Chains A and B, each alone.
Chain A
Amino acid sequence: MSTYLEIPIPPSSDHLWRYTPWKRVHPSAVNTIPDAQPLTISGGDLFKAVITDSDEIARSFIHSIAQCQELVLADEDLVIDVKSSGHVAAGELKIVAKGHNTLVINLMGEASWAGLRIVGEVLPASSLSIALINELSSESRLLRVEDWVVGKDASLEFSTLSAGGSYCKTDIRVNLTAKGSECRGSVAIHGTGKRHDDHHFEISHAAGYTTSGLVMHAACDDKSRSIGTGLLKIETNCDGSNAGQIFRNLLLSEKSRAESIPELEVLSDDVKAAHGAASAPVSAEQLHYLMSRGLTKSAAEALIVEGFLMDAFKDIRNKKVVAAMRNALLLHLDCLVI
């Protein structure tokens, strides 16, 4: 396994780093390993643990500066706070889920740069609904990488509300390794100011009769930019798999930007795989409807944005996660108005 400094810097032609180059993600010079403060995690029983290094540059970088803790979930319903402070803060979290679990992570703090690497496993016949609410300071930069393995007849739901931080790169990879495993991902992004938010997803169907669905909604205002790239891969001999992916962008200002690249690689024949992407301004019809009922234009627009972002979570079955997302979104939007 490589250590960070041995891994070549990815060129901008590399799909994963095309819009968010590694040199801008790294907290300092790319050939350095800075000192980092650990992320402070509170709210659960955590143990010291070790996870292996990676050949992938972002994972290996966080591994080189962070300490790892392990969280074992067994029929739990947990909310944890992950706080960053100092100039550079980083942490690795290993999560093992057995039974039926809910985990809400509030990512907060003032660190200039925060790195979070999660390596998780949902054991056979278990479920985990994990939500991450990015409430980092508006000056923070974030690198977040996650790798999940979902076992036989197990289910993973991952939800993200991304509204904090100024320059964020997220890379989430899910491996559906056994028959009957499923994964649903829901991501809502609100871009304001000059916020840059890049999400990459890879969902690999490595066994037959596996199911995945991914929805990403990005509402971009001011000069913000959202990037959504996804790769759905159905390997050979994975008949009966069903995969879907949709990226929707709502552009709220003239200078906002959105990039969507939903990719499909299908190597089995008896499967269903589909993806879609759409980008549009706020619907004049919806605005008219709300304004004719007495709302000001800005209030009507805010309501449409709220509805659009909450719509990303409509397929999430865990009600507690949906409620947590709604509360966090309303708080975020209220704070913007204030």
Chain B
Amino acid sequence: MNDDAQDAVGDYRYGFHDPEDSTIRFDKGLTEQVVRDISELKNEPEWMTDIRVKAYRHFAERVMPDWGNCEMLNAIDFDAITYFLRSSKGTESDWDDVPEAIKNTFDRLGIPEAEQKWLGGVTAQYESEAVYHSLRDDLEQQGVLFFDMDSGLREHPEIVKKYFCSVVPYSDNKFAALNTAVWSGGSFIYVPKGVHVEMPIQAYFRINAKNMGQFERTLIIADEGSSIHYVEGCTAPTYSTESLHSAVVELIAMEGATIRYSTVQNWSVNVYNLVTKRGIAHKNSTIEWVDGNIGSKLTMKYPAVILKGEGSHAEVISVAYSGSGQHQDAGAKIHHLASNTTSRILSKSICKNGGRSSYRGLLQVSPKAQNCRSKIVCDALVLDEDSQSDTYPTMEVANSSADLEHEASVSKVSSDQLFYLMCRGHSEDEAMGLIVNGFFEPFTRELPMEYAVELNRLLQLEMEGSIG
């Protein structure tokens, strides 16, 4: 890591990187041939190649968004990015078979240890493809399908073909088109009817190479009456040049199913994190996004739920921390298309050292959706004069029976709270850390314990030196 990068990232503990030892690395830049080559390399069916090519053409034609942080967005050099890099010969199911260097990386990130203790399954993605994958035997016996996306397409093409791009079409936005064109890796999960996956299933995404683009694609289908909790974590080394992470996640919750999707995003501050996440909730089903954004240079992520079935429910709990040079532009979108649907959004953000955090949300009630209920709460803490907090909520109501509330507030840490804690023997830094952890508590309590502990620790590190 060079000095500039070190200065920029401070104590980012995942900023280390391994020497690049790729088996296949495409040249930088994106052309239709690159898209076709990725598909051919993966030996994909023709329909997938066709979707990729259509998506590429759409990406090439579509202009960059004219909203959000346009200055940062326009600084992305798509020709300087490597779109595919294979670091391992294949996806291993035995940890010992993973290449040593990659294994060391994930050991340092604590992945195998977590798997043994409390996970139902794990997939670890390094650069463009999964390098390790496992699923507990009992879940496998119950018919749960859990693969990296490439294997999912190979093993169950009929399911993938049915649902791929059904929630996020490639024409949805420029970055969804890019992902559809060059996607690689990600998770494919199918939970059969009535099966409850009690332990969370985890994916861990790691970018190691410079100027790398990671474009994983995740598809989760929870069949009738089933439930699953999926957790993803992300880190990358710190370089002085930028990397791009542009994922697409599609969730389908069938009647009575529940999907909880938790993310702890801790990319280094040279990563653009431009992600499209959307779920469709059928009758009486629930989709929950629990979304933590700590790292990255620019995050633009608005987890969405389409409440298509009567009685379905959506919940989005998100927190964002923006430090120096960071802009966390996060939020949520809920579309109430059916009657008696409910949703709740809780967004919390903190900015300091010139960071910027924005909440951007959309709440929509269609004319035919009767008796919908929704509540949105956005709280922001601005810790110094150089930082900025914005809120851009949109409510569109086309049915008179809807009962919707939105409230937002921006403030600084109360001096009364600081004084109270310092009277009890805490230093200013410790007091600030405690207040911030308390501020984020509604989020951390929704995470598995190990993640919550880790997040609190990360926040504590970020908050050190925030006083004065």
Contacts and interface: CB of A to CB of B under 8 A. Distances in A.
Is chain B a partner of chain A in the same complex?
Answer: yes
Interface of A: 13, 236-237, 239, 249, 251-281
Interface of B: 66-67, 367, 380, 382-385, 387-412
Contacts of A256: 400
B412 A252 contact: no
Contacts of B395: 258-261, 277, 279
B400 A253 contact: yes
Given A13-B66, A249-B397, A280 B410 contact: no
Contact of B400 (A237, A263, A281): A281
Contact of B404 (A263, A266, A271, A280): A280
Contacts of A263: 390-393
B407 A254 contact: no
Given A256-B400, A260-B406, 9 more contacts: A249-B397, A260-B393, A261-B395, A267-B388, A268-B382, A269-B383, A272-B409, A275-B409, A280-B403
B387 A269 contact: yes
A275 B384 CA distance: 21
6 contacts: A13-B66, A260-B406, A261-B394, A269-B382, A271-B412, A281-B401
Contact of B385 (A269, A275, A278): A269
Q: Dominant SS at the A interface?
A: strand
B413 to A, nearest CB: 9
Contacts of B398: 257
Contacts, number: 113
A113 B119 CA distance: 66
B397 A251 contact: yes
- What are the 3 tightest A-B residue pairs by CB atom distance, in nearest-first order? A251-B400, A274-B409, A264-B391
A278 B411 CA distance: 21
Contacts of A262: 391, 393, 406, 408
A261 B393 contact: yes
Label chain B's interface by main secondary structure. Answer: strand
Nearest to A253: B400
A72 B390 CA distance: 38
Given A259-B395, A269-B385, A276 B410 contact: no
Nearest to A19: B396
A233 B410 CA distance: 12
A258 B398 CA distance: 7
A274 B400 contact: no
A275 B412 contact: no
Contacts of A281: 400-403
B55 to A, nearest CB: 22
A237 B405 contact: no
Contacts of A264: 389-391, 408, 410
B33 to A, nearest CB: 33
With a 10 A CB-CB cut-off, give which of A249, A252, A255, A266 has the most chain B CB atoms: A266
A261 B382 CA distance: 22
A332 to B, nearest CB: 21
B408 A276 contact: yes
Given A13-B66, A266-B390, A281-B403, A271 B396 contact: no
Given A237-B385, A269-B382, A275 B404 contact: no
A315 to B, nearest CB: 18
B387 A279 contact: no
A254 B390 CA distance: 33
Given A237-B385, A260-B395, A277 B405 contact: yes
Contacts of A252: 400
Contacts of A251: 397, 399-402
A267 B408 CA distance: 16
B407 A274 contact: yes
Contacts of B380: 266
A59 B234 CA distance: 49
Most B CB contacts (10 A, CB to CB) among A237, A267, A269, A271 go to: A269
A281 to B, nearest CB: 5
Nearest to A225: B398
Nearest to A13: B66
A259 B365 CA distance: 10
Given A251-B402, A266-B410, A275 B391 contact: yes
B62 to A, nearest CB: 13
Given A254-B400, A279-B402, A270 B412 contact: yes
A277 B391 contact: no
A259 B398 CA distance: 9
A266 B389 contact: yes
A239 B411 CA distance: 11
A277 B67 contact: no
B367 A259 contact: no
Nearest to A236: B385
B410 A274 contact: yes
A268 B398 CA distance: 36
A261 B396 CA distance: 9
Contact of B394 (A249, A259, A266, A272): A259
B411 A257 contact: no
A263 to B, nearest CB: 5
Contact of A265 (B390, B393, B403): B390
A271 B398 CA distance: 35
A195 to B, nearest CB: 15
A276 B389 contact: no
Contacts of B405: 276-278
Contacts of A267: 385, 387-388
Contacts of B397: 249, 251, 257-259, 279
Contact of A254 (B382, B384, B399): B399
B330 to A, nearest CB: 15
A253 B397 CA distance: 12
Nearest to A229: B394
